[in-house]
Amino acid sequence: MKAAVLYNAKDLRVEEVKEPNPLSHQVKVKVEWGGICGSDLHAYLQGLATEPHPIGKQEPPFILGHEFSGTIVEIGDGIRKYKVGDRVVVEPLLYCGECYACKIGYYNQCSQVGFIGLNRDGGFAEYAIVDENMLHLLPDNVSFEEGALVEPAAVALHAVRESKLKPGDSVAIFGAGPIGLLALLCAKAAGATKIIVVDLSQERLAKAKELGATTIIDGHRDDIVQTILQLTNGGANVAYECAGAQATMANAIASVRQRGQVMAIAVYSKPVNVDMGQVLYKAIDLTSTLAYRHVFPEVIDMISTGRLDVKPVITKKIALDDIVEEGFNPLLNDVKQAKILVRP
């Protein structure tokens, strides 16, 4: 079968590999669509770990891709809940099930957490092998393209659900990439009335406005904080930091009101400094979320019932053969792009 295999930093090859077979607790999924994630970009630029993951147990290189949907074409002997022909989306977390976090249901905080597509072969291939506990049925009225957006939408919905946002609150979202745009949609669905989005890209800001942002702010401006404080009469109730940068974290902290909250969603490639004086003075709740837990069914239901329209976040669809030239390179160099989907 054809697959996109990451060997080293900036060495992603679309090549023929052996078609995999499922174990007793696994299924084989014919991949329909997969999304390129910021984590994929980071892996592409930095490379992957050289040692096998303690749960994934696979020697690198790996097939990339952890945001994908498809159809079950083969099941292992131990599978009872799913059948050949089922339309599914994949929750790609690897977790041990034995550590403290796992035992209290916080499997996304597992001490050995990993992802298929980053720590084991993933979904940028014609077929993918998936553990039974990773599967969620996709309703017939939800397209495979929308299915590929369930994973990043789960990141955003989990963050909004874990935050202190209440109906009628104001929010500031720093970063209008896919997660920021999906956080906008989730905050809107949760009842936020003022939704302010900050980004460096005019194209992404226009997309945020299209999706329901009440105010958009150019990230190059030097009065970002003052503008948000004025618009919200003293500061946003919640700021979602979706960019993973020093400047956006500093602005998020400065932009919330007394007893406000800063929710960090982004993955940080390097440490950032935090002004603890502001945190203390304003009694800010500075917190974060990692991935998601127990939220895929809710995301799927929200898409199915029309409460969450993820389609506008998709800006491009490409073939697997073009994943580097038309996928990774544009996402690294073209600020107009949000979510690019890949079809094997």
Confidence of residue 323 (pLDDT cuts 50, 70, 90): very high
Residues 38 and 135 reside in one and the same domain: yes
Task: Say if 331 falls within a structural domain.
Answer: yes
Rounded Cα distance between 336 and 339, Å, is: 10
Task: Say if 260 falls within a structural domain.
Answer: yes
Residues 83 and 51 reside in one and the same domain: yes
Task: Say if 200 falls within a structural domain.
Answer: yes
Residues 106 and 180 reside in one and the same domain: no
Residues 70 and 97 reside in one and the same domain: yes
Residues 38 and 126 reside in one and the same domain: yes
Confidence of residue 335 (pLDDT cuts 50, 70, 90): confident
Confidence of residue 38 (pLDDT cuts 50, 70, 90): very high
pLDDT digits (tens, 9 = 90+) for 226-240: 999 999 999 999 999
Q: Count H helices, E strands: the chain?
A: 11, 18
Residues 123 and 8 reside in one and the same domain: yes
**Cα 309 versus chain centre, distance:** 16
The domain tally of the chain equals 2
Backbone angles phi, psi at 195, to 5 degrees: -125, 105
Check if the beta carbon of residue 262 is closer than 8 Å to that of residue 284. Answer: yes
Task: Say if 120 falls within a structural domain.
Answer: yes
* Helical packing angle, 178-189 and 202-211, nearest 10°: 20
Bridge partners, residue 244, by sequence:
none
Task: Say if 300 falls within a structural domain.
Answer: no
What is the rounded end-to-end Cα distance, in angstroms, of the chain?
10
Residues 177 and 263 reside in one and the same domain: yes
DSSP 251-293: HHHHHEEEEEEEEE-SPPSS-----HHHHHHTT-EEEE--S-S
Q: In terms of DSSP H, where are the helices of 125-218?
A: 144-148, 150-162, 178-189, 202-211
Supply 34's token pair. Answer: 């997969």
Q: Is the pLDDT of residue 157 over 90?
A: yes
Task: Say if 8 falls within a structural domain.
Answer: yes
pLDDT digits (tens, 9 = 90+) for 165-223: 999 999 999 999 999 999 999 999 999 999 999 999 999 999 999 999 999 999 999 99
Q: What's the confidence (pLDDT) of residue 219?
A: 97
Q: What's the confidence (pLDDT) of residue 316?
A: 96
- Nearest CA among 208, 161, 216, 162 for reference residue 185: 208
- Nearest CA among 143, 179, 138, 150 for reference residue 263: 179
Q: What is the CATH number of the domain that holds 323?
A: 3.90.180.10
List CB contacts of 336: < 8 A, sequence separation 6 or more: 201, 203, 204, 315
List CB contacts of 305: < 8 A, sequence separation 6 or more: none
171: enclosing H helix or E strand: strand 170-174
Average pLDDT along the chain: 97
Q: Is the pLDDT of residue 50 over 90?
A: no
Q: Is the pLDDT of residue 163 over 90?
A: yes
The one-letter code for the residue type at 156 is A
Q: What's the confidence (pLDDT) of residue 294?
A: 97
Q: Is the pLDDT of residue 332 over 90?
A: yes
Q: What's the confidence (pLDDT) of residue 240?
A: 98
Residues 200 and 251 reside in one and the same domain: yes
Task: Say if 301 falls within a structural domain.
Answer: no
The residue length of the chain stands at 344
Task: Say if 295 falls within a structural domain.
Answer: no
**Domain, as residue range, for 120:** 2-149+310-343
Residues 104 and 203 reside in one and the same domain: no
Residues 174 and 257 reside in one and the same domain: yes
Q: Look-up: residue for tokens 């837990």? A: 293
List CB contacts of 193: < 8 A, sequence separation 6 or more: 167, 168, 169, 170, 214
pLDDT digits (tens, 9 = 90+) for 119-136: 999 999 999 999 999 999
pLDDT digits (tens, 9 = 90+) for 204-213: 999 999 999 9
**Cα 135 versus chain centre, distance:** 17
Tell me which DSSP letter residue 20 carries: P
pLDDT digits (tens, 9 = 90+) for 80-102: 999 999 999 999 999 999 999 99
Residues 20 and 141 reside in one and the same domain: yes
Residues 138 and 251 reside in one and the same domain: no
Q: Look-up: residue for tokens 């202190």? A: 164
Q: What's the confidence (pLDDT) of residue 60?
A: 92
Tell me which DSSP letter residue 312 carries: G
